[in-house]
Amino acid sequence: MPFWTWTGIKNGRANTQWPARGPDGQEGVLGMPRWQPERCVPDCQACADVCPTAAIHREDDGMSMDYGRCIVCQACVEACPQEAMLPSGDWAFAVRDRQDLHWQATLSSPAAKDLQNKVVGSLRRSLHIKHVDAGSCNGCESEIGALDNPFYNLHRLGIFFTPSPRFADLLLVTGPVTAPMRNPLLATWEAMPEPRMVLAVGACAVSGAPMDAGYAGGHGLDGVLPVDVWLPGCPPNPAALIHALLLLLERQPQRVEGGHYAD
Amino acid sequence: MRTSPFTPQLEVHEITADALESRAQDCLQQGMRFLMAWHDWEEDDVCVLRYLLSRPGNPQFLLWELRASQQIPSLAKLVPLLGWYEREMQELGGVEFLDHPEPYPLVIHEGYQLAAAPLGPQYSGESITGAYASPTMPEIANDQVQDLYWGPVRADFVETGEFHFSYIGEAILHYHPRLFYKHRGLEKRFQGMSAESAVFLAERVSGVGSACHALTYCQAVEAAWGIEVPWRAQLLRVIIVELERLYNHLHFFGLLAKTTTLKVGSATGLLLEERVKQLNGKLTGSRFLRGLFCVGGLRRDLAAEHLDGDLETFIYEADAYLQDLHDTATHLDRLMGTGVLPKQAAFDQGATGPVARASGLDRDLRRDHPYAAYHKLRFNVPVREKGDAMARAEVRAESLREALALIVQAAGRLKPGPVRADFAIPDGEQAGLGWAESPRGSLLYAVRIRAGKLQRVKIKSPSFSNWRVFPLTVHDTNLMDYAINEASFGLTIAGCDR
C-alpha cells in the first residue's frame, strides 16, 4: 500500500462532529467581552477611553456598544474598574440583522425575529461558497482555510468552496472593501446566479473597524452588498465560521440578540 | 546641524544627495546590505530620507540621513532592492526620484489617483478614486504568445492579487504580480495615535504575523523611550513568536504538499498547524497570539513553564511528519530544480528570511542583531546553496525544528518575575527602530514619536521584500511548476500591501 495512504488510514479520523457533538476546538479562546451594565458606576467611561475602534463609546444617555466594531482586544476588560466587562468565550456571534450587534437594554419579541429568519428553500442542503478578500489582514483567510483542515472538515456539513461565482450560492467577504477591490467585489456578486446570499466575515467586513477612516480603507459591506449574515470577530475562529454558515442555512439558532449572548 | 532622533540607538551618518551614489557603491563593496529606505516629512518643507544598512559582523545598524528639499537621485540602478521603496515614497510620500529605472505605479494602480500624497505635507484627507486600468506591461509580440490575467479574485480562499502571465504553451515568458489591492494605508493610520495604544494596529498588518508585528512595533517604541523589558517578558516574547513560526511553517508544508498533490501529506501538515493554533488559544486566549504584547513587556503573564511537557508528543509527530515528506520521492521530484533563485539575485533584489537562506545568504536577525532573549538561547541558522524550492523547504524544515527547540529552551529558563516594565512617557521627540526575524524574514518598524504621539511609522514586512524577488524565479519557467514555486516562497499579501 502506498505510504501516505497507509499513514492516513493509520492515523484515523481527526475531525470533530461539532456542533452536533465533540469539541469545538476553541478551549481558552477569548471572545467578545460580556457587558454587565448593572455593575457600571455613574460617569465612568474607562472602557470607552481605551476602546481602539470606538466599539464602546459614550452617548448622551449612557454607554453604547457595537459588537460589530469589536476586535476582541480585551482592552476594556483590563481597564474596567468594576468588572463590568467580563472576559468570555462568546465567539459564535453571527447574526442576521446588523442591529443585533448593537447592545440593547431591552430586547424585542422573539416572534418578530422568527419572521425575519426566512431562508430560501433551495439552499437548505448543500452550499457552495465563493470567497472574496476585499482587503483583509489575512487572519480571516487563515481561519477560513482552517475549515478545510481535518479537524473541522467543512465538507462533512455539505458545505464547499467553489472557484467560480457561477456555481456559488454564497458570497463570503472579508476585509473593509478597499478602493480597488470595490468593483471586483461587485462584479463577483453580479456573476452569481440567484438566489444568492452574502456573509460578512470579520470586524473589517462588518463595520470597517479598525481599518476604516483612511485614504484607502472602506467601511465594510454596509451599503455595498445586501448582507444575510454578519459575523464579527477579529478574526472569527473556525467554529464561529461554521456556526455562521449553519445559521445561514437555518441549521443552527442565532445566539445573539441585541448584543446579548445566549449560551 | 541638528542631531537625529535615532542617534541614541543607531550609528547615524548625515549624507548629501550628491554623495549618495558614491557612498552606496562603497558600502556595497564592503559587503553591506540595504535593509530599507523611508521618508519622513519632519517639517512641511524638509523631508528626511533614511536608508538603513547592516554591516557584516557588526550588530549595530547603520543609518543614513539625507535632508532634502529637491529631487533625489534614484539608487535603484545600483541597489535594485531599493526600487520598490523609492516607488512607494514617490506615490505615497510625495518625494521625487530622478531617473528611476522602473517608472511605473506600484501601490496606487494605473487608473487610480490620490489628490495629494497621503504621507506627504500637502495631504488633507482625500481618498483613492478611479477605476480599473490594465497595468503597464512589457510588449511581447508574437502570434503564439498568450496573455493570462489571473485575479484579483482567484480560487479557493487565497489573498487578493492579480497575476499576469505571458506564455507560449507551458513556457512562461513574462510574469508580473500586481499587488496592493489590499493596501489599507496603515502607515498613515498610525499617525497621531498614542504610541502606547497602537499595538493592536501592528497586530493587524498581517494576521498570520500578528505576534512578530506586535513585538517589532513594541521594540521600536521601547528603543525610542529607553525602556528595559524584564527578563521573564523577554523569554515569553521568544516563546510567543516561536509559536507563531511553528504554525506558519506547518502551514507552509501543508500548502506545499497540496501543490505537489500529496493529499494526506497536506492534511497532516494542516492538522498539525491547527493543533498549534489550539495550543495558542489555550495558552494565550488567542489563536493568533494577539493581545499579549505591550510597550514595556507583556499585558499579562503566561503560564508557559510546562510547555515542554505539552509539546512532548507534538515534537515527535512534527519531526516524523517532516521526515516522511523528506522520504517521499514524488514530492521531492517536484521541488528539486524548481524556481531557482541565484545567490547574487537574492542579495541584489533584497530576498529575506528562509528564501534568502535557501540561496546561500547566511543572515538571521535573531543571531546577527540579537533582540528579546535570543542572545542567551542556542539555535542554528540553516543555510542552503541551491536556491530552489527544495532548498527553501529544507531551510523551513530545519527552522521549524529549531523553533520547537527554542520554545522548550526558553520555557525551561522561565523564572517568576515581573512581565511589564514601569515607565513614564517622555516629552519631546524620540525615534526608535525595532526588528525581528519573522517566519518569513526580516520585519522592521521605524517610529518617530512626539509627546507620546506617533508622527511617522514605517513598516517593512518580509513579504514586501520577497514579492519583489519572486518574479525572477518565474520568468522562463513553466506553468506546471508555478503553484509549487509560489508555495515554496511562503508569501503573504496583506503584509506586503499594508
Minimal C-alpha gap between A113 and chain B (Å)? 32
pLDDT band at B194 (very low <50, low <70, confident <90, very high): very high
Domain boundary among B107, B142, B176: B107
What is the number of other CB atoms lying within 10 angstroms of the CB of residue B153?
23
- Are the Cβ atoms of A178 and B251 closer than 8 angstroms? no
**Closest B-chain CA to A7:** B264
Domain annotation covers residue B294: yes
**Between A2 and A113, where is the model more confident?**
A2
Alpha helices in chain A (DSSP H): 3-11, 46-50, 75-79, 110-116, 139-146, 182-190, 202-207, 238-248
What is the number of other CB atoms lying within 10 angstroms of the CB of residue B49?
23
| Cis before B152? omega within 30 | yes
**Closest A-chain CA to B202:** A137
- Which chain B residues are closer than 8 Å to A184 by Cβ? 132, 152-153, 160, 181
- Are the Cβ atoms of B131 and A183 closer than 8 angstroms? yes
Using CB atoms, pick whichever of B207, B251, B265 lies closest to residue A139: B207
Residue B498 has pLDDT above 80, yes or no: yes
pLDDT tens digits, one per residue of A139-164: 999 999 999 999 999 999 999 999 99
Using CB atoms, pick whichever of A11, A29, A163 lies closest to residue B287: A29
CATH at B59? 3.30.460.80
Residue A1 has pLDDT above 70, yes or no: no
Same domain, B314 and B425: yes
How far is it, in rounded angstroms, from Cα B201 to Cα B160? 20
Q: Side chain identity at A52, as an amino acid letter?
A: P
Place of cell 518580509: B462
Contact with chain B for residue A163, Cβ under 8 A: yes
Note the pLDDT of residue A115. Answer: 43
Phi first, then psi, for residue A169 (nearest 5°) are -95, -30
Residue A61 has pLDDT above 90, yes or no: no
Q: Which of A108-112, A116-120, A209-213, B242-246 has the highest mean pLDDT?
A: B242-246
Q: In what order do the strands lie in the sheet with B58-68?
A: B11-15, B58-68, B46-55, B33-43
Domain annotation covers residue B137: no
Note the pLDDT of residue A109. Answer: 56
Note the pLDDT of residue A72. Answer: 93
Over pLDDT 70: what percentage of chain A? 93
How far is it, in rounded angstroms, from Cα A125 to Cα A250? 10
Domain annotation covers residue B146: no
Using CB atoms, pick whichever of B152, B273, B494 lies closest to residue A181: B152
Give mean pLDDT, residues B141-146.
86
**Closest B-chain CA to A208:** B184
Pairing of strands A197-201, A229-231: parallel
CATH at B200? 1.10.645.10
Contact indicator for B439, B221 with CB cutoff of 8 Å: no
Contact indicator for A168, B238 with CB cutoff of 8 Å: no
Domain annotation covers residue B154: no
Contact with chain B for residue A1, Cβ under 8 A: no
Using CB atoms, pick whichever of B208, B262, B284 lies closest to residue A4: B262
Contact with chain B for residue A22, Cβ under 8 A: no
- Are the Cβ atoms of A131 and B128 closer than 8 angstroms? no
SS3 A90: strand
Domain annotation covers residue B301: yes
pLDDT tens digits, one per residue of B332-381: 999 999 999 999 999 999 999 999 999 999 999 999 999 999 999 999 99
Domain annotation covers residue B66: yes
Note the pLDDT of residue B33. Answer: 94
Give mean pLDDT, residues B321-329.
94
pLDDT band at A62 (very low <50, low <70, confident <90, very high): confident
pLDDT band at A116 (very low <50, low <70, confident <90, very high): very low
Domain annotation covers residue B282: yes
- Which chain A residues are closer than 8 Å to B123 by Cβ? 215
Residue A263 has pLDDT above 50, yes or no: yes
Place of cell 510546562: B306
What is the number of other CB atoms lying within 10 angstroms of the CB of residue B311?
20
Least confident of A48-62, A115-129, B169-183, B263-277: A115-129
Note the pLDDT of residue A122. Answer: 47
Domain boundary among B62, B87, B107: B107
Residue A118 has pLDDT above 60, yes or no: no
- Are the Cβ atoms of A179 and B157 closer than 8 angstroms? no
Place of cell 511581447: B140
Give the CA distances from residue B30 to residues B11, B25, B27, in Å, rounded to whole numbers and listed in that order. Answer: 17, 9, 5
pLDDT band at A111 (very low <50, low <70, confident <90, very high): very low
Question: Average pLDDT over chain A, rounded to whole?
Answer: 88
Contact indicator for B439, B244 with CB cutoff of 8 Å: yes
Q: Sign of the C-alpha dihedral, residues B341, B253, B310, B301?
A: positive
Note the pLDDT of residue B138. Answer: 82
Same domain, B102 and B241: no
Q: Side chain identity at A141, as an amino acid letter?
A: E
Taking alpha carbons only, the member of A188, A195, A174, A185 closest to residue A241 is A174
Beta bridge partners of B97: B72
Using CB atoms, pick whichever of B184, B264, B285 lies closest to residue A217: B184
Angle (CA) B188-B189-B195 rounded to 5° is 105
Contact with chain B for residue A160, Cβ under 8 A: no
Residue A117 has pLDDT above 70, yes or no: no
Domain annotation covers residue B448: yes
Note the pLDDT of residue A120. Answer: 45
Place of cell 530552489: B388
Minimal C-alpha gap between B418 and chain A (Å)? 17
Residue B69 has pLDDT above 90, yes or no: no
- Are the Cβ atoms of B281 and A27 closer than 8 angstroms? yes
Same domain, B231 and B97: no
Residue B312 has pLDDT above 60, yes or no: yes
Same domain, B296 and B434: yes
Residues 231-260 of A with CB under 8 A from B: 234-235, 237
- Are the Cβ atoms of B182 and A135 closer than 8 angstroms? yes
Give mean pLDDT, residues B157-177.
92
Domains and CATH numbers, chain A: 116-261 (3.40.50.12280)
Same domain, B190 and B103: no
Complex ipTM, two decimals? 0.93
Using CB atoms, pick whichever of B112, B180, B271 lies closest to residue A149: B271
Number of structural domains, chain B?
2
- Which chain A residues are closer than 8 Å to B128 by Cβ? 179-180, 215-216
- Are the Cβ atoms of B182 and A181 closer than 8 angstroms? yes
pLDDT tens digits, one per residue of B7-55: 889 999 999 888 999 999 999 999 999 999 999 998 777 899 999 999 9
Contact indicator for B160, A134 with CB cutoff of 8 Å: yes
Taking alpha carbons only, the member of B86, B82, B137, B138 closest to residue B107 is B86
- Which chain A residues are closer than 8 Å to B251 by Cβ? 142
- Are the Cβ atoms of A141 and B207 closer than 8 angstroms? yes
Place of cell 482552517: A146
Same domain, B65 and B192: no
Note the pLDDT of residue A113. Answer: 54
What is the number of other CB atoms lying within 10 angstroms of the CB of residue B446?
25
Using CB atoms, pick whichever of A27, A183, A210 lies closest to residue B204: A210
- Residue of B108, B158, B182 to mutate when probing chain A, most A C-beta within 10 A: B182
Using CB atoms, pick whichever of A71, A142, A184 lies closest to residue B152: A184
Note the pLDDT of residue A112. Answer: 45
pLDDT tens digits, one per residue of A218-248: 899 999 999 999 999 999 999 999 999 999 9
- Are the Cβ atoms of B159 and A138 closer than 8 angstroms? yes
Domain boundary among B41, B76, B107: B107
Name the residue range of residue B92's domain: 11-107
Question: Average pLDDT over chain B, rounded to whole?
Answer: 93
